[in-house]
Amino acid sequence: MLPEWLIYSIAAICGLLTWRDIKWGLTGIAIAIGISPEYRTEFAKDLRLEDFVMIAVFLAWILHKMRDREPLIPYTPLNGLWGFWIFTGAISVLMGFALGTLPSWKTGFLHWFKRIELAILFWMVADRVRSLADVRWLAISGMIGALLSSYIGWQQRWIKWDDTNGEPTGPYTAYRISGPVGEKPNVYAQYLVFNSLVGFALAWSLYPLPGSWFPALLAGLTIVPILFSFSRSAIAALVVGLISLTGAFHRKWLPIVLVAMFVVPLILPSLLQDRLRNLSWENFKAERLGGYIGAIRETLPVNPITGRGLGFTGFNRYENQYANTLAHEGILGLIAFLALIWGVLKMHNETLRLTSDPYLRGVVQGCFAGTIAFCIAGLSGVPMLAIRTSETFWFWTGLCAGIWRLASFGAVEEIEEQSQVEFADAEPIKS
């Protein structure tokens, strides 16, 4: 554990660096997301390292905007949908407290505050993207955070052989990876899934440029911790994401992906092979379908419109993000949530139509596949509601919104000319 004074110092330094240039603060956020929730404080046990960093960066960013008299919220295609989701969250907190289904106003406020925090993160990243150099800087920052997180998994299993990471004794102990202390293996693996898909997309989109090796390295190092987390929802999400990515954008890599899906399970330890065999509809019905039924039975008789109150049982009582959203925020909140995700996919599609630059397309393609993967993982998990996975999702989605702004406002033409020169220089690598 880090000393509390050091956590506060890191947050303060990120805030000061943000005053100089917001990209430094965003880099601090990306890295903090990668290594949390290992670092907390006794002063505020519900807040983690990235929360303190975000608060410091947000304050510096807002003051910087006020000083320069710039609009606080940049224009993106998701602004209206974000406003709707924030509104439904506030209404569910108020109604839950009024009806007595929410334990306390503090609980609801903390969950709603986290939603505001994610929205500001999204807008802040989108606002900072002004050039291809900004996209590269922020993308590399996100990948460094994921690499550090991958190292935690590798350290648990291969570098520190006798470490069981506090897992109970049993057949999985010898193999299982849990990620940072205090985090569920499912959340850890789902965080890596999204980042690995961005890595694959960038590597395939940039090939044969020399720069393609770094995202390829990221993708390769994340695969092993994902598999050995024993998270069936994350593994299923990774498979669907890879098929979506290659089938829609990189078909020449599709045969390799399909072959790998047959070969890799054959060389894994028998315990992990048994775990993968449980990826079936019958097991899903037995283990997860009850969450949907329970959410409907416990919510509709009480308050079907706005639910029982945002945060009334944490993030994952019903084992999936759709039933949880229904129970917490009712039909209105579920509609707002689904509309926002649909808006994200539409933004990705529109951005891909507007640009031909390989780096920009690689980022957006990876985020498109990652969104699909999170939608699938959400059938038996909460990747878009859990803290770390939602943070990385909106960090990358904010970067895609910034790319959309570049493409929509015409700044992307100069970027594409620069990329054509880079590809021309890289031609000898093909031969």
**pLDDT for 79-89, tens place per residue?**
999 999 999 99
Q: Which one has a higher pLDDT value, 123 or 165?
A: 123
SS3 content of the chain, % helix, strand, coil (to 5): 75, 0, 25
Query: Residue 6 — very low, low, confident or very high, per pLDDT cuts 50/70/90?
Result: low
Phi, psi of 2 (to 5 degrees): -80, 145
Peptide bond into 215 cis (omega under 30): no
The burial class, CB within 10 Å (0-12 / 13-18 / 19+), for 270 is: exposed
- Angstrom CA distances, 325 to 90, 295, 310, 344, stand at 13, 9, 8, 18
Query: What is the value of pTM for the model shown?
Result: 0.87
Cα 418 to Cα 136, 139, 291: the distances in Å are: 14, 18, 51
Distance CA 339, CA 398 (A): 17
Mean pLDDT for 390-414 is 86
Q: How far apart are CA 407 and CA 354, in angstroms?
A: 6
Across the range 378-398, mean pLDDT stands at 91
Query: Which pLDDT does position 86 carry in this prediction?
Result: 96
Q: How many CA atoms lie within 13 A of 36 on its CB side?
A: 27
The rounded distance, in Å, linking the Cα atoms of 222 and 146 is 8
The reported pLDDT for the residue numbered 182 is: 62
What are the tens digits of pLDDT across the range 279-338? 665 566 556 677 788 888 888 888 899 989 888 877 777 878 998 999 999 999 999 999
SS3 state of residue 48: strand
Give CA separation, 145 vs 65, 129, 309, in Å.
Answer: 27, 19, 33
Quote the tokens at residue 103: 């334990």
Instruction: Read off the amino acid at residue 37.
Output: P
Residue 376 near residue 240, CB atoms below 8 Å: yes
Closest to 167 measured CA to CA, from 181, 155, 150: 181
Maximum pairwise Cα distance, the chain: 70
Average pLDDT, rounded, for the chain: 82
